[in-house]
Amino acid sequence: MTILTSAALLPGLANAEIVDCPKGSELAQTDDERRPWVCVTTSKSRDTGLSTEKCPKETTKVITTNTYGPFRCALDGIDPSPPGTMRFTTNRAPGRSGPVAEPGSGNIPHRGPPRPPKKRAPPKPPPKGDFPPIERGRRIEKRAPDPGALPPGEKDYFTFHAPGRVRFDLPKKWQIVDRWTASPPTVSALVDLPRDGRQIIVRVTFCRKDPKDCQEYDTAVYTESKATPPRRESRASFDGAAARVFAVPGESRIAYVKVPDGYFMLSYAATAELYTRYSPVFERLLRSFKTK
């Protein structure tokens, strides 16, 4: 009787090569069936998830499944193994043959004495509201919220003005980034949420015709329309300029506003539970948007 080893049952399994992302990069999933998994750079100064960012040498811009920053720079020539890939080693237990799964590498239990279960902390109760009270003994103290984390009122805005180019309203107490000094010209207003560290952000970017750091208008609109998850598309007009608007309900909105010498990108992103609450900030930006 012939005994088949695991290597014989699964040809090439013992010689399977596991490819990990090198230092300075991380694993990301894309919409491209030819390269479903890639290694993307993690440098914040060169890779922020915007379609306007220019990728460095030996990298290629790809669209990932991350809706908050879909555009990333993928390392060329590296096809990493997807998560959950079983890793095998040539180490064998005495009297046994075939590849042995490394402990913790997949769903196959390791060969050896059973490991003690990991101790996990009990789950925390869900917070009530955005700023839950802190219980100390029998007395409850309410934590004062950060003013910047509250939806601004009508008087809590200022007008950002790039002379000769554009003006629009932004919240006074939000953090203002870039201030139209980057390439392409960009300004962002954001606030960090104390609950989970994620950000609420509105951003305006201008891309000139035949840009070096931006896609052409038609290409940018087409790429957005094919992104995942599917976008809801509509048409609008801001300050007399035609626009294409894309939205992922509960996550993000972005408007591509076409002007004679290029186009503007007006975007908004927030956490699902606060998306509707902070939408008026983006609506105020759209209403106050004026070119030149």
Please indicate, yes or no, if residue 14 is contained in any of the structural domains: yes
Domain assignment present for 265: yes
Return the pLDDT at 194.
61
Give CA–CA dist 85/21, Å, rounded.
13
Q: In 14-130, which ranges are E strands?
A: 25-29, 37-41, 59-63, 71-75, 88-89, 100-101
Residue span of the structural domain in which 197 resides = 149-291
pLDDT at 5: 43
- Give the highest mean pLDDT range of 8-12, 80-84, 153-157: 153-157
Residues 162 and 270 in one domain: yes
One domain, residues 35 and 162? no
Assigned domain for 128 exists:
no
At 276 the three-state DSSP class reads: helix
Please give the average per-residue pLDDT across 18-23, as a whole number.
83
Place of tokens 């104390």: 194
pTM of structure: 0.50
Q: What is the per-residue pLDDT for 2?
A: 45
Which pLDDT band holds residue 209 (cuts at 50, 70, 90)? Answer: confident
β-pairing, 232-238 vs 199-208, is: unpaired
In a shared domain, residues 81 and 212: no
Phi-psi region of 271 (alpha: psi -120 to 50; beta: other; left: phi over 0): beta
What gap in Å lies between CA 233 and CA 267, rounded to an integer? 14
Q: What is the pLDDT of residues 181-205, one digit of tens each?
A: 888 899 999 887 665 556 889 999 9
Pairing status of strand 241-248 against strand 232-238? antiparallel
CATH number of the domain where residue 235 is located? 3.40.1000.10
Domain boundary among 54, 81, 109: 109
Number of domains in the chain: 2
Question: How far lies 259's CA from each of 63, 138, 206, 242, 256, in Å?
Answer: 26, 61, 10, 8, 10
Per the prediction, the chain carries an average pLDDT of 77
Quick check: 259 and 278 in contact, CB under 8 A?
no
Q: Looking at the predicted structure, is the pLDDT value of residue 253 above 70?
A: yes
| pLDDT bucket at 146, cuts 50 / 70 / 90 | low
Average pLDDT over residues 88-109: 49
Final residue of a structural domain among 82, 109, 136: 109
> Are 280 and 191 contained in the same domain?
yes
In a domain, 33, yes or no: yes
Instruction: State the distance between the two ends of the chain, measured CA to CA, in whole angstroms.
Output: 85
Handedness of CA 225, 233, 230, 284 (dihedral sign): positive
